Amino acid sequence: MKTTLFLLLLTFQIGLAQTSYGTPNNETPLPEKIKDLKIAIEVAHFPKENDPIKIDNTYYWKHATAILCKKSEIKIIEYGAYLFYNNKWNLRKSYPLKDLDKTFGTKKQTMLQGQPYVWQNNWRIGNKLFGGWAMWYFIGKTKNGETICGYETINTTSNLLN
């Protein structure tokens, strides 16, 4: 009886602790920090659906991320990534602004008008093979002080290429 009760309780706890990954859709609310901001930064991932490769015991989802602002010069004040699970976007990480200059090639976190900036090696790396959705976001200010944003999703799959 004790063994059955223990197994039943363990199964119940595991069920509660499981993360529900899913697929965002047009009805999925945006995160609070960007939902009311004007979109003025274009964000693109290549490829948009990203299949992993395995090297030694590590999986790599290799992709590039590009940002561009056509209308004006923009000073980035925050950027990072969300992960989609439990039917909502959950903040994964806001990155230090100094990293933007290193990874995207901006100077003092400033995007010049019409100039594309690309992080060529924006890779997801892990020792477990599973897919999921992420959304990169960028928040900036125009020269006249307007706060704007840009964001784009990327689908990382579990379809191993090798």
pLDDT digits (tens, 9 = 90+) for 102-111: 999 999 999 9
Give Cβ neighbours of residue 89 (< 8 Å, ≥ 6 apart). Answer: 24, 28, 29, 30, 31, 82, 83, 135
What pLDDT is stored for residue 81 in this prediction? 98
Establish how many alpha carbons lie within 13 A of residue 79's alpha carbon, considering only the half-sphere containing its beta carbon: 25
Task: pLDDT band for 20, please (50, 70, 90 cuts).
Answer: low
Mean pLDDT of the 131-158 span: 97
CATH numbers and ranges of domains, the chain: 38-156 (2.60.40)
- Tokens 């690309």 belong to 118
- Tokens 């093979």 belong to 129
Rounded Cα–Cα distance for residues 22 and 142 (Å)? 35
Task: pLDDT band for 16, please (50, 70, 90 cuts).
Answer: very low
3-state SS assignment for residue 71: coil
The candidate with the shortest Cα–Cα distance to 77, out of 136, 145, 141, 142, is 141
**130 φ, ψ (degrees, to nearest 5):** -155, 150
Taking every pair of Cα atoms in the chain, the longest distance, rounded to a whole number of angstroms, is 71
pTM of the entire predicted model: 0.86
What pLDDT is stored for residue 21 in this prediction? 81
Rounded Cα–Cα distance for residues 7 and 4 (Å)? 5
Rounded Cα–Cα distance for residues 16 and 105 (Å)? 43
Task: pLDDT band for 17, please (50, 70, 90 cuts).
Answer: very low
pLDDT digits (tens, 9 = 90+) for 62-103: 999 999 999 999 999 999 999 999 999 999 999 999 999 999
